Amino acid sequence: MLIEAGHFAFGLALGLSLLQLVLPLWGSRTGDRVLMAIAAPVAIAVFGLIAFSFATLVAAHVTSDFSVENVFQNSHTAKPLIYKISGVWGNHEGSMLLWVAILALFSALVALNPRTVPFALRANALAVQAALTVAFQLFILFTSNPFRRLDPAPMQGRDLNPVLQDLGLAIHPPLLYLGYVGFSMTFAFAMAALIDGRVDAVWARAVRPWALLAWSLLTLGIAMGSYWAYYELGWGGFWFWDPVENASLMPWLVGTALIHSIVVMEKREALKIWTILLAILTFSLSLLGTFLVRSGILTSVHAFAVDPGRGVAILAILVVFIGGSLAIFAWRAPLLRQGGIFAPISREGALIVNNLLLASACATVFLGTLYPLALEAVTGEKISVGAPYYDLTFTPMALLLLVVVPFGQRLAWKRGDLLGAAQRLLAAGLVSIACMLGVVAFTTGGPILAPLAIGIGVFLILGSLTEIWVRAGAGRTPAIVLRRAIGLPRSTWGSVAAHAGLGITLIGLAAQAWSHETITAAKIGQTLTVGRYQAKLVDVRDRPGPNYQAKVALLEVSRGGTGLGVVECEKRSYPARETTTTEAGLLTDGTSQFYASFGEMYPDGTIGLRLYDKPLVLLIWLGSVVMAAGGALCLSDRRLRIGAPSRVRPRSGLVPAE
């Protein structure tokens, strides 16, 4: 009965979404503020209804109500509670419902924060957001209804794909969706600005928190997904340049460009049209990602049950929204007035370089991801574009960008002094070069790019910290520097943290050039060596799990004679789906890891093992967390909490000399 209530609430939400779409637009055309004011309460109601229908589906999964087809297909009574809950979005229908719920959540959040967003902008943005909500609600109701019943109800469910039964996978999709869908809000604001025909610093200030929020969550979501791939797939890899991964990387790259160009717009009223275009492109790439992942064009763990009808429907949504928004952009953008003149060597100029390189890097990923699909559609020839392509195209551009970043941070707005910036960065630069040479001197093997990347990573971290040092009054007594540093705006600390986090991630990535792999078969009692670690196979035993049977190999790990502990790696077999999964054994040693993965049992009693020495590998994800924390710090800045300044205030107050 509950699930019918959820179904009904979802239908009701569709009706309200239609109101949220039509009334505010009507109101803004006729100048009727009452109609425009309806948008906010309706948006909150829509979210409440969708959240309720989502909750009913969660309840059905938790209680293993197999009369609901979605539960039958993806759940099992023996499954642990946490995976019963995460199983709600571990399938196509449920994940689309989560997608819509997050769309509505962002609408509601905007509706609940009236102070930060101008009235007309909010009404129009909520209408655009409602258009998206309606499209995806129709998609769910007509092609992927999670509320469908089965009669008669089966006794037992088919269980969730075991690869997805993992804590990382319980968290990764909601985070990624919050990021992906979060950019719908900036998209909605961009469209509202085009409808309004006006975009200025107030717009930028209203939109920036949403872009930052979405960006931080997307950063965490991507990092989480990559860590999951690292420990769950048993290959020790964390990024495969798989189209599904690229689909999340592309909005991240353009979104990164967006959060930078919004700053230019907020401070200097320049790059207006470009920023609007970026906002449109970021969400378009999110939509494209959804299409690639959900349509079944690509084969992966993400492509649940494949149904061509759904692919066509998502493609139609894609065409309508991307095509429509670009058409409106082409029609309305020339009406926007440009402002803010600046010299090429200036903060604005540096941010243009940032945007250019990010957009180009995204373009190469786009090409590498879509070219094989296009080629197959046209000629039928099947190809794959892998890491070597991205090493040649994406990596050089990314490294070039990262070298430039600290210089950009040190340039003044409007007209900068490149020589002065270089002088202030001299210390950071020298230390980085010393690090680079040190790495070259003390390591053997590994590509030449790796020490270079480590040097750039160090430069990024130190260069960002230089910002704090200089602004806190370099050279004064430590007490003054400390007090001033604490007094700096949180957005300054946030941006320093985000850039330093990028440096940390880069060092972690580069250090993988010195990772070691040993693939071998071993008997109990045998000692194996991989990189810096020695591992002794102590025992192999059986262990029953709640809904699987596991073989566990115990390895005693030591480095240079000192014992580090015992690692367990497992091979699990799930009877419900007749599949096996590998649970890697990880031993953390500082920020490095010893990684062991269970291969197979051989008749003579030996077992196959895959062992890795992964130096500094945790820095990759640690850096991502620091980046996201930086975004959150910027978000908590007083300026953004207080919200958009009203138009009555003197203009001079708008452009603080930062």
Contact 223, 625 (CB under 8 A): yes
Map tokens 């209530």 to a residue.
Answer: 5
The yes or no reply on residue 379 touching other proteins (CB under 8 A) is: no
Instruction: Kindly state the smallest distance separating residue 582's Cβ from other proteins, in Å.
Output: 6
Instruction: Kindly state the smallest distance separating residue 347's Cβ from other proteins, in Å.
Output: 15
Say how many residues touch other proteins, by CB under 8 A: 55
The yes or no reply on residue 343 touching other proteins (CB under 8 A) is: yes
The yes or no reply on residue 580 touching other proteins (CB under 8 A) is: yes
- 10-44 core/surface letters (b: 16 or more CB in 10 A; e: else): bebbbebbbbbbbbbbebbeeeeeebbbbbbebbb
Instruction: Kindly state the smallest distance separating residue 359's Cβ from other proteins, in Å.
Output: 8
**What is d(CA 449, CA 290) in angstroms, rounded to the nearest whole number?**
34
The yes or no reply on residue 529 touching other proteins (CB under 8 A) is: no
The yes or no reply on residue 142 touching other proteins (CB under 8 A) is: no
Q: What one-character DSSP code corresponds to residue 528?
A: E
x-marked contacts with other proteins along 237-276 as a string, rule CB under 8 A = -----x----------------------------------
x-marked contacts with other proteins along 584-603 as a string, rule CB under 8 A = -------------x-xx-x-
Task: List, as one string, the DSSP characters of 544-604.
Answer: E-SS-EEEEEEEEEEETTEEEEEEEEEEEEETTTTEEEEE-EEEEETTEEEEEEEEEE-TT
Map tokens 């991801």 to a residue.
Answer: 369
x-marked contacts with other proteins along 417-456 as a string, rule CB under 8 A = ----------------------------------------
Per CB under 8 A, which region of 16-24, 80-88, 194-202, 337-345 contacts other proteins?
A: 337-345
Length of the chain: 658
Give the three-state DSSP class for 533: strand
Contact 288, 318 (CB under 8 A): yes
Name beta bridge partners: 534: 529, 558
The yes or no reply on residue 299 touching other proteins (CB under 8 A) is: yes
Instruction: Kindly state the smallest distance separating residue 174's Cβ from other proteins, in Å.
Output: 22
Candidate list 139, 238, 390, 413; residue touching other proteins; CB under 8 A: 390
The yes or no reply on residue 389 touching other proteins (CB under 8 A) is: yes
**What is d(CA 15, CA 35) in angstroms, rounded to the nearest whole number?**
16
The yes or no reply on residue 77 touching other proteins (CB under 8 A) is: no
Q: What one-character DSSP code corresponds to residue 149?
A: B
The yes or no reply on residue 371 touching other proteins (CB under 8 A) is: yes
Candidate list 114, 316, 337, 338; residue touching other proteins; CB under 8 A: 338
Contact 188, 210 (CB under 8 A): no
- Going by C-alpha positions, the residue among 239, 182, 185, 172 that lies closest to residue 215 is 182
Exposed, middle or buried by CB within 10 Å (0-12, 13-18, 19+), for 155? exposed
**What is d(CA 397, CA 140) in angstroms, rounded to the nearest whole number?**
40
Instruction: Kindly state the smallest distance separating residue 411's Cβ from other proteins, in Å.
Output: 15
x-marked contacts with other proteins along 218-237 as a string, rule CB under 8 A = ---------------xx---
Nearer to other proteins (CB atom), residue 206 or residue 361: 361
Within 10 angstroms of residue 213's Cβ, the number of other Cβ atoms is 22
Nearer to other proteins (CB atom), residue 483 or residue 543: 543
Candidate list 75, 246, 295, 393; residue touching other proteins; CB under 8 A: 393
Candidate list 214, 385, 498, 626; residue touching other proteins; CB under 8 A: 385
| Tokens coding 343 | 């010299």
The yes or no reply on residue 518 touching other proteins (CB under 8 A) is: no
Name beta bridge partners: 530: 533
Candidate list 60, 126, 351, 352; residue touching other proteins; CB under 8 A: 352
x-marked contacts with other proteins along 535-574 as a string, rule CB under 8 A = ------------------------------------x---
Contact 372, 250 (CB under 8 A): no
The yes or no reply on residue 397 touching other proteins (CB under 8 A) is: yes
Nearer to other proteins (CB atom), residue 341 or residue 642: 341
Cross-sheet strand order for the sheet of 516-522: 516-522, 607-614, 592-601, 585-589
Candidate list 13, 258, 265, 357; residue touching other proteins; CB under 8 A: 357
| Tokens coding 447 | 């590509």
Candidate list 64, 67, 143, 520; residue touching other proteins; CB under 8 A: 520
Cis geometry, peptide bond prior to residue 152 (ω within 30 degrees of 0): yes
Instruction: Kindly state the smallest distance separating residue 146's Cβ from other proteins, in Å.
Output: 17
Per CB under 8 A, which region of 1-9, 148-156, 299-307, 615-623 contacts other proteins?
A: 299-307
Nearer to other proteins (CB atom), residue 386 or residue 563: 386
Give the three-state DSSP class for 235: coil
Q: What are the Cα distances from residue 374, in Å, to 76, 114, 330, 366, 392?
A: 39, 45, 26, 12, 21
The yes or no reply on residue 204 touching other proteins (CB under 8 A) is: no
Nearer to other proteins (CB atom), residue 142 or residue 602: 602
The footprint of other proteins (CB under 8 A) covers 161, 233-234, 242, 296, 299-301, 303-306, 338, 341-344, 352-353, 356-357, 360-361, 363-364, 367-368, 371, 381-386, 388-390, 392-393, 396-397, 519-521, 571, 579-582, 597, 599-600, 602, 608, 610
